[in-house]
Amino acid sequence: MKPVYYFALCAVFLFACSGEKEQQPAESKTDTATAEDTSFYAPLPAGIYPQDNPWSQEKEDLGKLLFFDPRLSGDNSISCASCHHPDKGWGDGLPRAIGFGGKELGRHSPTVINSGYFEVQMWDGRAPSLEAQAKGPIQAAVEMNQKVDELIGELNAIPEYQEMFSKVFGESGITLDNIAAAIATFERSVVSKNSTYDQYMQGDKNAMSPAAVNGMQLFFGKAKCSICHNGPALTDSGFHNIGLKQHGPLTEDLGRFNISKDDFDKGAFKTPGLRSVSQTAPYMHDGSEATLKDVVNFYNRGGDVAENRTSLITPLELSEQEVLKLVEFLKALDGETLNATIPKLPAMVETEKAKAKTKAKTKTKTKAKTKTSKKKT
């Protein structure tokens, strides 16, 4: 039977903390974890798909095609995979995403990995589900800049898509909701599991190196990582201001505050999951930390900006060796290789109208590239 995974994406700062409106929690079992203690371990479960978007292999296959298809963007140049590529940890490997027309955006592209286990999606949590998240970038002018009616027209000009949508969704056919449902179904298949950490906690005491075991004890103890990075996906799905300086083209990014309008949330971003975290550099919501060691050092010094920072972020007083051991444990969170072949996309039937639209989009794409090149020079 097909395993199912519940998604509530896009992800915040690596190692952010939770429960900020409450007092810091008292010492728990994880604060004094030992190599033999497994009480804090939670394996990644088989989840459930939403009742209004059940799984089928045909739907997942359709979603995969759409995920890699640049025709979902206004000039046919950007696909979901442009910012969430399997060869780059299901991100883009850049500090901040590149949007429509080659413009640098304000935030780092979060990984798709295990996003189905998150309660909300995007760094500020504005999307309550993967289905909602999938619609956002397609229509956003600064991201994929696609008009819905044009997209539906283009996909309807592709016989293979017509057939697949009809088989999966019946008479409703090609709609934005169905496009999003298929993409979300594919994204739910991107799951990191069976890491050396899992193997160790399930009884193979040779799976992790001694340094990684020591790092695990730090993670669940002195370094306080597990206050926020807990549960099967190692995230609390909460929002926290951890004291980062502003980086990138934005002069200010208020994060969760833009959604909640609560002053407490100014500068707060979603806690990312940590499984396969070594594959998803750079880190933080703005991509400002290049390596895992940089991230640990950031937390070790207690962050950089005091304004509105959670009281849970304080200097950790880790030694250099402890920093390195913690990094080794983070690497042990890498799951099995997530293989994903790039699919061959279905061809469009070239009607005269379709040819004219393709020509116009190609012209727009060329102008955008020329504009970007001039900026670089």
What are 202-237's pLDDT values in tens digits?
999 999 999 999 999 999 999 999 999 999 999 999
When pLDDT is averaged across residues 253-277 and rounded to a whole number, the result is 97
Residue 247 sits in the same domain as residue 307? yes
| Helix and strand counts by DSSP (H, E) for the chain | 12, 2
* 143 a catalytic residue: yes
Q: Looking at residue 8, what is its pLDDT?
A: 34
Please give the pLDDT value at position 38. Answer: 66
Percent of the chain past pLDDT 70, that is, above it, reads 82
Is residue 88 in some structural domain?
yes
Coil, helix or strand for 147? coil
Looking at the structure, tell me whether residues 346 and 325 fall in a common domain.
Answer: no
Question: Is residue 262 pLDDT above 80, yes or no?
Answer: yes
User: Is residue 68 domain-shared with residue 174, that is, in the same domain?
Assistant: yes
Both tokens of 163, joined, read 């057939």
User: Is residue 107 situated within a structural domain?
Assistant: yes
Q: Is residue 1 in a domain? A: no
Do 310 and 227 share a structural domain?
Answer: yes
Peptide bond into 315 cis (omega under 30): no
User: Does residue 237 belong to any structural domain of this protein?
Assistant: yes
Q: What is the per-residue pLDDT for 34?
A: 56
Q: Are residues 198 and 113 in the same domain?
A: no
Would 304 be classed as within a structural domain?
Answer: yes
pLDDT confidence bin for 348, thresholds 50/70/90: confident
Q: Are residues 187 and 198 in the same domain?
A: no
Please check the confidence at residue 356 and state whether its pLDDT lies above 70: no
In this structure, are 198 and 327 located in the same domain?
A: yes
Residues 61 and 174 in one domain: yes
For residue 79, pLDDT over 60 is answered with yes
Q: How many CA atoms lie within 13 A of 102 on its CB side?
A: 13
Q: What is the pLDDT of residue 346?
A: 95
Domain annotation covers residue 326: yes
Overall number of domains in the chain: 2
Residues 187, 199: one domain? no
* Cα(322)–Cα(225) distance, integer angstroms: 13
Same domain, 63 and 164: yes
pLDDT of 358: 55
For residue 5, tell me if it sits in a domain: no
- For residue 295, what are the domain limits? 29-45+194-331
The better pLDDT of the pair 53, 375 is held by 53
Query: What is the distance in angstroms between the CA of the first residue and the CA of the last residue of the chain?
Result: 55
Are 133 and 260 found together in one domain? no
Say yes or no to pLDDT of 52 above 70. Answer: yes
Q: What is the pTM of this model?
A: 0.85
* Least confident among 18-27, 91-100, 348-357: 18-27
Task: Check 143, 154, 322, 328 and give the catalytic one.
Answer: 143
132 in any annotated domain: yes
Contact (CB, 8 A) for 89 and 115: no
Same domain, 326 and 253: yes
Q: Could you tell me the CATH number of the domain that includes residue 260?
A: 1.10.760.10
